[in-house]
């Protein structure tokens, strides 16, 4: 470097842009007085050839080694002047620009102030440039691959332009198909050519192009790197269908029982849960829409897929429904009658009106089976290891059922004379008839399970010695708990289970006139209702808490009351009164409710001195059951709570190979919980016999479907379950009668399909190509590209927020996009313009600027609505020959052929009313308005407020930024303008680039625009990407961070704040001690300066933006030093 | 043909009144069509704004005095034009520049308010007579709540029922409240809307001085007009208080369990949203919550409700001017209530009550419909 600093200062007039406000001569004279300034001149256009030549000549002739140009923004001409310096042999980084146009001339009319500020800026630039250092630009190679995000018309166009140049393109589209909004359109303005005719060829080309890797149903997750070398992680969402084998034949959709509103048809038609958005979709494959597990399934202890069979019932597929249930468990008839149905408690429909009657529907499937005939094919025993199940209650049978279907030979040992356990002996026949139980156990036997009744097991080792390799214990909790009060052992005191067992076995039980039942669970209710049926005249249930705390099924309690059973709540017996060894009554204490206990129910607290007596002949105690600890006591470990000790996950007992579940492990619980335990044990036994890890990946959790939409769902009461008249009720006749077919279908049709796909798996059977893979998971793909084109499109404005336009409340008020679907031959009405009642409209109003040019919503003009409104008017005329009214503020037809199109429509006889609509209403004030939609607006040209009665209203809704534009902006590190659309680098001269080099933005992601403009932008962005590829390298700014080793102490403050991940902490040994410092990656660094600002030690600086250089400017401006 | 000779002072007054955004008006006509006047006659706010833009306002026109300040136009205006402020400024131009005359009835009322502090021309000392037999204490420093009844319930025997019910409820809920001694005057809200800014300032200053002298912190009001001026206009004049409309206060009392209903009102009730509670102050839910909490009461909505509610015709000083038969919005409102089968129309504003009472009387539908203040209904169910 030369010793003496010689600066040339050039003040630009920029025509009158600068010189009109800033006194350029005064600034020039001032510049001459500044230290080291060798020359100062002003010129009309410094950026012109002569302007540049002056600088070049001065550099050479006056030996300048620094240059300052005071003119416009560096964004405009920094490169111009750097080139000029460079060509004159001066390092271009020894040049500095002062912005006296945007920062001085354009921001004030005060000439003096502008001139004064211009001087300050020139002074600052002169001070700074003196301290600047020569730098060399860096170059890196460009990765020739390009990522295009968004497969609408803009994205497709960009992808094709680049791919046609034989460069690899990755096209990421989040929807199942490319095509974007254009695929939804009918005709396109102003030429009226069919949108599909011109876009599907592009779609198919994209789908088959050898240089395009189409990643549909995928989203960009992460972007790192910089221009020329981006690393991108893409999430390929599970579509549960293998794309390769799927032929798009559509057989799967035919059998799918779940219908949801079609997004593509904007809710005007239904689609299946397995779907292809539209027939010309690319790729031409189906996708299964899952929204997590339905709450009913998550709530079921056994994970029974209720949504699956409910959906199938709604479609009349009763047999398939039962098969769906049997994938999980065999007890449709049993659980359809006695299940406590936690599924119904969680049912989302309950938040809207009433939960689906899932239990009754389950029963319906079993009731209906005889109609179709049961076909049972015994399962082949493919496994050699024999399994013994001890106990034939619900747990044992569920375990046996799952194991036999895995191919194991299974034998069930039952001590009682008949199988079924508590189902047979603990539940009265009027709730669960024996033939239902027999039939379902029979089904399990037909599959190949051997049941040996009357076969008590004394010791497990005997079982093992008989050759069984694994054992499941499901013996239950069959011992009645005692109350521990005086007189409990008296004649006439019964225990509920013994009582029910005797009655259920057909034994005669004599009861007195008055019977009290103690307890509030299902056994108490069953005992009370049975006592009534056996002949007791008066039956009272005594329960210590209130009715809401009763654990019994509430409908059962209601039925008990209907049958004349009395409830005596908030009371507990303290003594059994006896006379001559026979019960005569009970002495009770009244209770009150305190704070909730561990069970969450409010704790009963005795009220002192509140005893009272009740005269009874019999007392039935139903306060709970316990496990008989004497069973297998020599072998099994029991817990302190008196239940069998098992591993909570695998259910393995202390004996290897022996597992236990159901009431004997949980204490008394429900049938469905026992079934769940049996199923878990079956998994363990299978793993055990295969030698696999018992616990890996268990317990599994199901992610519940969230945000189930309920808007627009009509409220509908649940179908009531028919009941037997009370006078006809006896010991064995069922009280609850099942649904008939019609009721079942009606009830099942209320299901909201929370999980979307119901997992019924009918599609799996229907797919000949075997393309369906319900186990598919999201996949991540990492790609590397040199540039990225963002073409993420727009959302349409939701007009329901403008309540006075009636969208969502009034029929036949639709949006412009909905109209496009209606007009489209592949749309919901096959191209006919129809009202909701199926008739054709005679008059239609098209309301412009809905959500556009409106301070309350979007202040900007959405650009395309005037034109598509005219097009809609044409289509209405053509297809329905209806009268059309356009309510507009200004008609904006700016584009080639657009004004001509306007003229054509005027010629077609469209009515134009200049005025923004104030209200759309169905409130008629005259006969002409009856049954019409009345559009109220001022015809501002007439100066009258008018009411226009029409049949249909089309709202020309605004185009808005995507709802996730902010997140997408962050992902790609690109900014947004005030309206929320992505910001281009320069609105006129660089409309497709962004402030993040190498990332381009095209189409409606940048601003609302029509198809020709989107396509033009896409081609422009493609050209920019191709230019980079063609050059093969990009120049990077040399003003990047540099670590000053002697200052950096490795505090690492700068590491985290660096937005480009360019800084790493390193440790090294120096003279025997560990030293720390940071390293900055010159390729990643963008010179933003965050590190410099963070560093407390001046250990990291940005070249040419060093602290002394910036301080010099600040001092100059503040007039210091 | 009209020659363009702009009246520049008008633009200045509009600017001063805060209506400067009228320059942004793009003449879309939303205001004209949103205005309830279009149901009964031609009234063109859009044209008036354009005339004002050009300085060509016709001050003699009856139009100057029609605006009911219901806010339906402002709420929908796509350009954010403060149309009510423009109307106010035009009226102010008339009164302060003397270019035309205000309607006679209005001038009389303004005179009353100016000299007596109330629009009814009643003596100030009679302001508290309505509460004489109710044993209400006079507000003194330290009392929790000031109840401000509004002039109309205070003097108009027909409307008193709203204020009386309010007092009874406050007593039942054991609220420590008081009323002023009659030295207070009209809140001035409508005075300001008819363009008499000077009188408004005087009224407001007087009230603020009295409130401040008594160290008032919390005011409960019956009229949404008082609510609006106390809450949104007094603070700029140095009067900063916690202001509650009685419907909000009731909702809070019910929520806190300080009021318990013992009676059922087994009637079909519709609620008429007052402009100054709804559109001006976004209070739609509280009155409905109160009504829905009354046992037995079935709440039904009229076709025009909430932000689309129909004005009773009494805002903007219209309550003091004669509206021709056939042009009264309150007549239409009565029909709308009957259309949904309402047996009671619940109101929450003395102006609405006054206009709707009159319309009910002239319609001869007293057998089918009652007009009741929300406070009356609540008191009945206690």
Closest approach of A921 to chain B, Cα-based (Å): 9
Reference A395, options A415, A374, A361, A422; nearest CA is A422
Question: Distances in Å between the alpha carbon of A576 and those of A511, A519, A619?
Answer: 17, 15, 9
Same domain as B328, residue B213 = no
Nearest residue in chain B measured CA to CA from A947: B33
Same domain as A884, residue A825 = yes
Q: Residue B370's pLDDT is what?
A: 96
Q: Do the Cβ atoms of A856 and B76 come within 8 Å?
A: yes
- Across the interface, of B42, B78, B307, the residue whose CB is closest to A855 is B78
B 251-290 residues with CB below 8 A of A? none
Same domain as B289, residue B207 = no
Distance CA B248, CA B229 (A): 17
CATH number, domain with residue A120:
3.40.50
Same domain as A547, residue A457 = no
- Of A843-847, A1047-1051, B374-378, which range is least confident? A1047-1051
- Give residue-wise pLDDT tens across range A415-433: 999 999 999 999 999 999 9
The answer to the question of residue A649 being in a domain is yes
Reference A820, options A786, A865, A859, A857; nearest CA is A865
Q: Do the Cβ atoms of A939 and B307 come within 8 Å?
A: no
- Is the predicted pLDDT of residue A373 greater than 90, yes or no? no
- Give residue-wise pLDDT tens across range A269-280: 999 999 999 999
Q: Helices (DSSP H) in B64-218: which residue ranges?
A: 72-76, 83-97, 104-116, 151-155, 160-172, 189-193, 197-213
CA atoms within 13 A on the CB side of B262: 4
Domain boundary among A626, A654, A675: A626
Name, of A664-668, A951-955, B1-5, the range with top average pLDDT: A951-955
**B22, B29, B44: best mutation site toward chain A, by most A Cβ within 10 Å?**
B29
CATH number, domain with residue A1083:
3.30.70.3270
Q: Among residues of chain A, what percentage have pLDDT more than 90?
A: 84
Reference A356, options A678, A747, A53; nearest CA is A747
Domain boundary among B230, B251, B272: B251
Reference B44, options B58, B55, B54, A813; nearest CA is B58
Domain boundary among B77, B97, B117: B97
Distance CA A55, CA A38 (A): 12
Same domain as B25, residue B71 = yes
Closest approach of A935 to chain B, Cα-based (Å): 10
CB atoms inside a 10 Å sphere around CB A908 = 13
Cα(first)–Cα(last) distance of chain B, in Å? Answer: 67
- Across the interface, of A890, A915, A921, the residue whose CB is closest to B29 is A915
Closest approach of A949 to chain B, Cα-based (Å): 15
Same domain as A810, residue A946 = yes
- Is the predicted pLDDT of residue B1 greater than 70, yes or no? no
Closest approach of A930 to chain B, Cα-based (Å): 15
Q: Do the Cβ atoms of B76 and A943 come within 8 Å?
A: no
- Give residue-wise pLDDT tens across range A51-107: 999 999 999 999 999 999 999 999 889 999 999 999 999 999 999 999 999 999 999
Query: Would you call B215 helix, strand, or coil by DSSP?
Result: coil
Helix or strand (DSSP H, E) at B345:
strand B344-347
Reference A435, options A525, A529, A524, A337; nearest CA is A337
The answer to the question of residue B280 being in a domain is yes
Higher pLDDT, residue B185 or A1082: B185
Query: Would you call A75 helix, strand, or coil by DSSP?
Result: helix
- Is the predicted pLDDT of residue A447 greater than 80, yes or no? yes
Q: Which residues of B touch A925 (CB under 8 A)?
A: 39
**How many structural domains does chain B have?**
3
Q: Among residues of chain A, what percentage have pLDDT more than 70?
A: 100
Region A371-383: what's the mean pLDDT? Answer: 88
Q: Residue B5's pLDDT is what?
A: 64
- Mean pLDDT across chain A: 94
Q: Helices (DSSP H) in A226-317: which residue ranges?
A: 251-255, 295-299, 306-314
DSSP string, A579-622: ETTEEEEEEEEEEEEEEE-TTSSEEEEEPTT--EEEE-SEEEE-
Same domain as B323, residue B187 = no
Q: Residue A1035's pLDDT is what?
A: 85
Q: Residue A1's pLDDT is what?
A: 46
CATH number, domain with residue B26:
1.10.1060.10
Contact yes or no for A149/A172 (Cβ under 8 A): yes
Same domain as A1096, residue A1076 = yes
Distance CA A798, CA A858 (A): 12
**A850, A915, A935, A940: best mutation site toward chain B, by most B Cβ within 10 Å?**
A940
Give the β-pairing of B298-300 and B242-245: unpaired
- Give residue-wise pLDDT tens across range B140-153: 999 999 999 999 99
Residues 6+ apart with CB under 8 A from A1016: none
Report the greatest alpha carbon distance in chain A: 136
The answer to the question of residue B3 being in a domain is no
- Is the predicted pLDDT of residue A2 greater than 60, yes or no? no
The answer to the question of residue A539 being in a domain is yes
Distance CA A418, CA A426 (A): 13
Q: Do the Cβ atoms of B42 and A945 come within 8 Å?
A: yes
The answer to the question of residue A1028 being in a domain is yes
Nearest residue in chain A measured CA to CA from B309: A804
Same domain as B215, residue B150 = yes
B 284-343 residues with CB below 8 A of A? 303-304, 306-308
Same domain as A36, residue A54 = yes
The answer to the question of residue A473 being in a domain is no
Higher pLDDT, residue A597 or B117: B117
- Mean pLDDT across chain B: 93
The answer to the question of residue B2 being in a domain is no
Q: Which residues of B touch A945 (CB under 8 A)?
A: 29, 32-33, 35, 38, 42
The answer to the question of residue A1119 being in a domain is no
Report angle CA A233, A239, A242 to the nearest 5 degrees: 100
The answer to the question of residue B1 being in a domain is no
Domain boundary among B81, B97, B113: B97
Query: Would you call A710 helix, strand, or coil by DSSP?
Result: coil
Q: Which residues of A touch B47 (CB under 8 A)?
A: 943
The answer to the question of residue A899 being in a domain is yes
Domain that holds residue A1089: 1041-1102
Reference A954, options A1032, A1110, A843; nearest CA is A843
CATH number, domain with residue B247:
3.40.50
Domain that holds residue B48: 8-97
Region A834-850: what's the mean pLDDT? Answer: 97
- Give residue-wise pLDDT tens across range A183-228: 999 999 999 999 999 999 999 999 999 999 999 999 999 998 889 9
Same domain as A665, residue A810 = no
**How many structural domains does chain A have?**
6
Q: What is the ipTM of this complex?
A: 0.88
| Residue found under tokens 């019609």 | A742
Closest approach of B60 to chain A, Cα-based (Å): 19
Same domain as B175, residue B81 = no
Region A467-472: what's the mean pLDDT? Answer: 96
Distance CA A762, CA A749 (A): 18
Same domain as A515, residue A492 = yes
Q: Residue B211's pLDDT is what?
A: 96
CATH number, domain with residue A952:
3.50.50.60
Residue A1043 pairs in a beta bridge with A1100
Reference A750, options A350, A368, A409, A429; nearest CA is A350
Region A562-579: what's the mean pLDDT? Answer: 92
The answer to the question of residue B359 being in a domain is yes
Same domain as A954, residue A968 = no
Region B331-344: what's the mean pLDDT? Answer: 96
Same domain as B110, residue B243 = yes
Distance CA A596, CA A102 (A): 71
| Three-class secondary structure assignment of A901-925 | HHHHHHHCCCEEEECCEEEEECCCC
Q: Helices (DSSP H) in A919-1046: which residue ranges?
A: 965-972, 1011-1031
Same domain as B121, residue B47 = no
Same domain as B236, residue B273 = no
Dihedral (CA of A154, A156, A158, A164) sign:
negative
Residue A579 pairs in a beta bridge with A582
Dihedral (CA of A603, A606, A612, A617) sign:
positive
- Give residue-wise pLDDT tens across range B207-225: 999 999 999 999 999 999 9
Same domain as B207, residue B116 = yes
Q: Residue B2's pLDDT is what?
A: 58
CB-based burial of residue A570 (10 Å sphere; 0-12 exposed, 13-18 middle, 19+ buried)?
Answer: buried
Q: Which residues of A touch B51 (CB under 8 A)?
A: none
Residues 6+ apart with CB under 8 A from B111: none
- Give residue-wise pLDDT tens across range A272-312: 999 999 999 999 999 999 999 999 999 999 999 999 999 99
CATH number, domain with residue B277:
3.40.50.10700
Distance CA A31, CA A129 (A): 13
Nearest residue in chain A measured CA to CA from B44: A943
- Is the predicted pLDDT of residue A1121 greater than 80, yes or no? no
Same domain as A940, residue A850 = yes
Reference A917, options A789, A813, A1065; nearest CA is A813
Same domain as B130, residue B92 = no
Closest approach of A855 to chain B, Cα-based (Å): 5
Same domain as A11, residue A118 = yes
Distance CA B262, CA B265 (A): 10
Same domain as A544, residue A486 = yes
- Is the predicted pLDDT of residue A466 greater than 50, yes or no? yes
The answer to the question of residue A86 being in a domain is yes
Same domain as B245, residue B115 = yes
The answer to the question of residue A257 being in a domain is no
Same domain as A122, residue A60 = yes
Contact yes or no for A868/A959 (Cβ under 8 A): no
- Of A200-204, A436-440, A552-556, A573-577, which range is least confident? A552-556
- Give residue-wise pLDDT tens across range B278-301: 999 999 999 999 999 999 999 999
């Amino acid at each position: 470097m030369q010793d003496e600093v010689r600066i040339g200062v050039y003040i630009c007039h920029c025509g009158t842009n600068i010189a009109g406000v800033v006194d350029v001569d005064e600034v020039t004279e001032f510049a001459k007085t500044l230290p080291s300034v060798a020359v100062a001149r002003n010129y009309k256009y410094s950026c012109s050839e002569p302007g540049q030549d002056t600088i070049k000549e001065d550099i050479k002739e006056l030996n300048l080694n620094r240059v300052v140009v005071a003119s416009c923004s560096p964004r405009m001409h920094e490169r111009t002047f750097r080139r000029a310096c460079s060509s004159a042999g001066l390092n271009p980084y020894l040049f500095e620009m002062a912005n006296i146009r945007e920062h001085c001339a354009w921001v004030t009319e005060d000439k003096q102030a502008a001139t004064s500020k211009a001087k300050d800026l020139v002074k600052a630039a002169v001070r700074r440039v003196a301290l600047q250092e020569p730098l060399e630009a860096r170059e890196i190679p460009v990765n020739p691959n390009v990522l295009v995000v968004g497969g609408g018309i803009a994205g497709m166009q960009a992808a094709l332009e680049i791919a046609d140049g034989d460069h690899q393109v990755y096209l990421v589209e989040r929807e199942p198909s490319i095509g974007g909004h254009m695929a939804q359109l009918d005709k396109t303005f102003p030429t009226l050519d069919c949108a599909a005719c011109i876009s599907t060829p592009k779609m198919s080309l994209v789908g088959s192009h050898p240089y395009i890797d189409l990643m549909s149903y995928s989203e960009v997750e992460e972007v790192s790197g910089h221009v020329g070398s981006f690393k991108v992680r893409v999430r390929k969402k599970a579509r549960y269908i293998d794309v390769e084998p799927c032929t798009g034949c559509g057989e799967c959709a035919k059998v799918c029982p779940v219908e949801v509103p079609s997004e593509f048809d904007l809710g005007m038609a239904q689609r299946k849960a397995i779907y292809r958005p539209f027939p010309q979709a690319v790729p031409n494959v189906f996708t299964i829409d899952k929204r997590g597990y339905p709450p009913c399934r998550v709530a079921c202890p056994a994970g029974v897929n209720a949504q699956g069979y409910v959906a199938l019932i709604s479609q009349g597929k009763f047999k398939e429904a039962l098969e769906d249930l049997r994938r999980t468990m065999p007890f449709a008839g049993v659980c359809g009658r006695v299940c406590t149905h936690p599924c119904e408690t969680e049912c989302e429909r309950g938040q809207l009106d009433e939960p689906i009657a899932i239990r009754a529907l389950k029963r319906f499937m079993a009731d209906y089976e005889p109609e179709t005939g049961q076909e049972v094919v015994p399962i082949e025993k493919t496994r050699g290891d024999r399994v013994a199940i001890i106990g034939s209650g619900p747990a044992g049978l569920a375990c046996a059922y799952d194991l036999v279907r895995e191919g194991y030979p299974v034998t069930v040992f039952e001590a009682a004379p008949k199988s079924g356990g508590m189902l047979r002996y603990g539940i009265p026949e009027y709730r669960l008839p024996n033939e239902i139980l027999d039939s379902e156990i029979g089904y399990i036997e037909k599959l190949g399970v051997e049941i040996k009744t009357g076969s008590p097991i004394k010791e497990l080792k005997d079982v093992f010695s008989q050759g069984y390799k694994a054992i499941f214990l499901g013996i239950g909790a069959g011992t009645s708990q005692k109350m521990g009060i005086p007189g409990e052992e008296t004649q006439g005191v019964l225990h509920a289970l013994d009582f029910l067992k005797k009655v259920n076995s057909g034994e005669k039980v004599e009861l007195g006139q008055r019977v009290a039942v103690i307890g509030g669970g299902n056994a108490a209710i069953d005992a009370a209702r049975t006592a009534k049926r056996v002949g007791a005249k008066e039956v009272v249930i005594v329960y210590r808490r209130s009715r809401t705390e009763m654990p019994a099924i509430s409908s059962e309690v209601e039925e008990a009351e209907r049958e004349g059973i009395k409830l005596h709540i908030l009371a507990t017996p303290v003594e059994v009164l006896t006379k001559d060894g026979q019960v005569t009554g009970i002495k009770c204490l009244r209770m009150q409710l305190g704070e909730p206990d561990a069970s969450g129910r409010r704790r009963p607290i005795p009220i002192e001195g509140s005893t009272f007596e009740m005269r009874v002949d019999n007392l039935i105690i139903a306060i709970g059951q316990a496990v008989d600890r004497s069973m297998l006591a020599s072998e099994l470990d029991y817990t302190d709570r008196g239940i069998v000790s098992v591993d909570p996950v695998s259910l393995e007992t202390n004996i290897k190979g022996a597992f236990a579940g159901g009431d004997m492990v949980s204490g008394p619980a429900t049938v469905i919980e026992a079934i769940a335990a049996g199923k878990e044990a079956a998994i363990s036994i299978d793993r055990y016999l295969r030698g696999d890890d018992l616990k890996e990946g268990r317990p599994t959790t199901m992610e519940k479907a969230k945000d189930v939409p309920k808007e627009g769902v009509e409220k509908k009461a649940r179908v009531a379950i028919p009941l037997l008249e009370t006078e006809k009720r006896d010991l064995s006749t069922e009280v609850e009668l099942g649904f008939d077919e019609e009721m079942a279908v009606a009830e099942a049709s209320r299901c909201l399909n929370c999980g979307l796909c119901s997992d019924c798996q009918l599609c799996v059977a229907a797919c000949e190509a075997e393309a369906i893979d319900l186990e598919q998971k999201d996949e991540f793909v990492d790609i590397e590209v040199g540039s990225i084109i963002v073409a993420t499109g727009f959302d349409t404005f939701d007009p329901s927020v403008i309540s006075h336009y009636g969208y969502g409340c009034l029929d036949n008020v639709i949006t412009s996009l909905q109209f496009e679907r209606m007009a489209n031959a592949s749309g919901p009405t096959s191209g006919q313009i129809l009202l909701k009642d199926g008739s054709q409209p005679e008059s239609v109003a098209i309301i412009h600027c809905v959500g556009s040019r409106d301070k309350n919503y979007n202040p900007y003009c959405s650009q395309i609505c005037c034109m598509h409104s005219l097009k809609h008017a044409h289509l209405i005329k053509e297809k329905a020959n209806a009268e059309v009214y356009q309510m507009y503020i200004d008609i904006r037809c700016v584009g080639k052929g657009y004004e001509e199109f306007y003229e054509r429509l005027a010629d077609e006889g469209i009515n134009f009313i200049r005025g923004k609509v104030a209200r759309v209403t169905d409130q008629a004030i005259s006969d002409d308005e009856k049954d019409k939609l009345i559009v109220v607006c001022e015809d501002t040209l007439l100066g009258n407020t008018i009411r226009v009665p029409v049949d249909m209203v089309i709202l020309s809704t605004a185009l808005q930024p995507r709802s996730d534009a902010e997140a997408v902006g962050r992902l790609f590190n690109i900014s947004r303008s005030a309206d929320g659309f992505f910001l281009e680098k320069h609105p006129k001269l660089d409309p497709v680039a962004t402030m993040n080099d190498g990332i381009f933005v095209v189409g409606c992601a940048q601003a609302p625009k029509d198809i020709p403009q989107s396509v033009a932008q896409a081609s422009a962005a493609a050209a920019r990407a191709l230019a980079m590829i063609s050059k093969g390298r990009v120049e990077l700014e040399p003003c990047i961070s540099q670590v000053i080793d002697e200052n950096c102490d490795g505090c690492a403050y700068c590491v985290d704040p660096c937005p480009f991940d360019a800084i790493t902490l390193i440790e090294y040994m120096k003279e025997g001690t560990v030293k720390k410092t940071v390293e900055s990656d010159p390729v990643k660094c963008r010179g933003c300066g965050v590190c410099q600002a963070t560093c407390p030690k001046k250990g990291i600086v940005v070249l040419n933006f060093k602290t002394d250089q910036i301080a010099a400017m600040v001092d100059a401006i503040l007039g210091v030093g | 043909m009209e020659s363009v000779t702009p009246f520049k002072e008008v633009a200045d007054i509009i600017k001063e009144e805060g209506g400067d955004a009228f320059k942004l008006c793009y003449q879309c006509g939303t205001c004209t069509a949103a205005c309830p006047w279009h149901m009964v006659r031609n009234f063109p706010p859009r044209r008036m704004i354009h005339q004002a833009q050009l300085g060509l306002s016709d001050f003699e026109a009856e139009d100057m005095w029609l605006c009911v300040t219901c806010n339906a136009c402002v709420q929908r205006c796509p350009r954010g034009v403060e149309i009510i402020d423009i109307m106010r400024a035009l009226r102010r131009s008339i009164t302060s520049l003397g270019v035309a005359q205000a309607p006679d009835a209005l001038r009389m009322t303004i005179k009353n308010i100016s000299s007596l502090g109330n629009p009814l021309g009643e003596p100030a000392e009679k302001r508290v007579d309505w509460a004489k037999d109710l044993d209400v204490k006079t507000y003194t420093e330290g009392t929790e709540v000031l109840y401000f009844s509004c002039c109309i319930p205070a003097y108009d025997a027909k409307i008193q029922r709203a204020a009386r019910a309010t007092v009874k409820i406050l007593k039942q809920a054991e609220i420590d409240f008081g009323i002023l001694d009659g030295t207070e005057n009209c809140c001035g809200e409508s005075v300001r809307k008819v363009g008499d800014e000077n009188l408004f300032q005087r009224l407001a200053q007087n009230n603020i001085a009295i409130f401040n002298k008594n160290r008032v912190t919390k005011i409960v009001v019956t009229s949404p007009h008082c609510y609006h001026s106390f809450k949104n206009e007094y603070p700029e004049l140095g009067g900063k208080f916690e202001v509650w409309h009685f419907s909000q206060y009731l909702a809070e009392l019910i929520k806190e369990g300080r009021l318990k209903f013992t009676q059922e009102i087994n009637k079909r009730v519709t609620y008429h949203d007052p402009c100054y509670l709804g559109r001006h102050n976004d209070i739609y839910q509280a009155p409905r919550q109160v009504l829905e909490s009354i046992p037995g009461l079935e709440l039904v909505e009229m076709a025009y409700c909430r932000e689309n509610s129909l004005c009773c015709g009494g805002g903007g000083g219209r309550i003091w001017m004669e509206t021709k038969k056939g042009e009264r919005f309150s007549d239409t409102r009565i029909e709308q209530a009957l259309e949904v089968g309402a047996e009671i129309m619940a109101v929450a504003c003395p102006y609405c009550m006054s206009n709707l009472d009159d319309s009910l009387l002239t319609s001869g539908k007293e057998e089918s419909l009652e007009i009741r203040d929300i406070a009356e209904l609540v008191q009945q169910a206690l």
